[in-house]
């Protein structure tokens, strides 16, 4: 036994090295199942606070871009107001519409940290469970889909960006309603790929891609981008379609979190479907 202690003591550096590497790698692999990583992420109060303070300084440098975006959004909304009785206004962050006829409620929030250079990008917002944000809510902005909420703390929330190779959304071609899966390949932050569109569909560069509304997360018809190139790959029966996003993730500042009032009902019916098919 004493020999064992002496052996460990003599090689303590190697043992410590192996131990620390194992701890780190366990973190890495557990973290990839992102649900397991409920602790230590950038939505935690402390890091959220640091980013928030830093953001207060840097936001001055982005004011002109934000102004332009707001002006554009104003113009878009004013156009909607022009059409009488088709649009009802839903106050931004007002609560208490739980049983109302409105299916979607929008909560505006500010981006306090963002990245586009990793394979799995995350965004931190300055609102959290206090403001009614819950995990799995969708996040959009004037130019399209931003991502999905993964973690919330009382005043911050962490959003999995559309620029995340482990996530994709259901999207369709606006002109003919054929739908497919939109995913990112980890390279260009302005370019994503639409798959599962079969060869018999007519697809042209310039077609607009919008959300399909098949999931409970995003309403139908949010513009995403336009088709840039259409390729037929050998051995596949589906097109490879490159889509240029309207949204520039590099200049993201204000976003809206979507609360879906009928989320639970939709989940229930989807669950029943999969039970009928004998799936888990």
Q: Which residues bind other proteins (CB under 8 A)?
A: 12-13, 16-17, 20-21, 23-31, 37, 40-42, 44, 47, 50, 54, 115-120, 122, 158, 186-189
CB closer to other proteins out of 47 and 195 = 47
- Cα–Cα distance between 201 and 203 in angstroms, integer? 6
CB closer to other proteins out of 63 and 270 = 63
Q: Which stretch of DSSP H or E encloses residue 57?
A: helix 45-58
Q: How far is the CB of 78 from other proteins (least distance, A)?
A: 35
CB closer to other proteins out of 116 and 174 = 116
CB closer to other proteins out of 44 and 215 = 44
CB closer to other proteins out of 20 and 63 = 20
CB closer to other proteins out of 21 and 231 = 21
Q: How far is the CB of 55 from other proteins (least distance, A)?
A: 10
Q: How far is the CB of 134 from other proteins (least distance, A)?
A: 19
Residues linked to residue 226 through DSSP beta bridges, in sequence order = 208, 244
Specify the 3-state DSSP secondary structure of 167. coil
Task: Judge contact between 123 and 109, C-beta under 8 A.
Answer: no
CB closer to other proteins out of 167 and 179 = 167
Specify the 3-state DSSP secondary structure of 66. helix
Q: How far is the CB of 95 from other proteins (least distance, A)?
A: 29
Q: How far is the CB of 114 from other proteins (least distance, A)?
A: 9
Tokens found for residue 163 = 């620029």
Sign of the alpha-carbon torsion through 122, 61, 110, 171: negative
Specify the 3-state DSSP secondary structure of 15. helix
Sign of the alpha-carbon torsion through 179, 123, 167, 188: positive
- Cα–Cα distance between 35 and 47 in angstroms, integer? 19
Q: How far is the CB of 54 from other proteins (least distance, A)?
A: 6
Q: How far is the CB of 9 from other proteins (least distance, A)?
A: 11
Specify the 3-state DSSP secondary structure of 27. helix
- Cα–Cα distance between 139 and 250 in angstroms, integer? 16
Task: Judge contact between 187 and 200, C-beta under 8 A.
Answer: no
- Cα–Cα distance between 142 and 200 in angstroms, integer? 33
């Amino acid at each position: 036994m004493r020999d064992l202690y002496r052996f460990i003591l003599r090689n303590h550096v190697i043992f410590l090295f192996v131990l620390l590497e194992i701890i780190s790698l366990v973190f890495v692999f557990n973290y990839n199942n992102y649900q397991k990583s409920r602790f230590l992420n950038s939505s935690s109060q402390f890091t959220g606070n640091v980013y928030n303070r830093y953001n207060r300084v840097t936001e001055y440098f982005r004011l002109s871009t934000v102004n332009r975006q707001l002006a554009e959004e104003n113009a878009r909304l004013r156009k909607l107001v022009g059409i009488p009785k088709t649009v009802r206004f839903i106050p931004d962050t007002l609560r208490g519409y739980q049983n109302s006829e409105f299916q979607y409620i929008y909560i505006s929030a500010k981006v306090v940290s963002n990245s586009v250079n990793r394979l799995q990008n995350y965004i931190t917002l300055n609102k959290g469970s206090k403001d009614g944000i819950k995990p799995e809510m969708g996040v959009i902005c004037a130019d399209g889909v931003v991502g999905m909420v993964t973690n919330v703390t009382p005043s911050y929330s962490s959003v999995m960006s559309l620029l995340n190779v482990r996530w994709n959304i259901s999207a369709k071609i606006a002109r003919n309603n054929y739908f497919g899966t939109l995913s990112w390949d980890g390279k260009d932050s302005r370019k994503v790929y639409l798959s599962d569109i079969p060869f018999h569909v007519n697809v042209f560069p310039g077609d607009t891609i919008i959300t399909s509304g098949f999931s409970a997360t995003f309403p139908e018809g949010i513009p995403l981008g336009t088709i840039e190139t259409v390729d037929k790959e050998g051995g596949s029966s589906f097109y490879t379609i490159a889509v240029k996003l309207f949204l520039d993730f590099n200049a993201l500042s204000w976003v809206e979190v979507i609360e879906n009032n009928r989320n639970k009902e939709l989940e229930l019916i989807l669950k029943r479907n999969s039970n009928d098919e004998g799936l888990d």
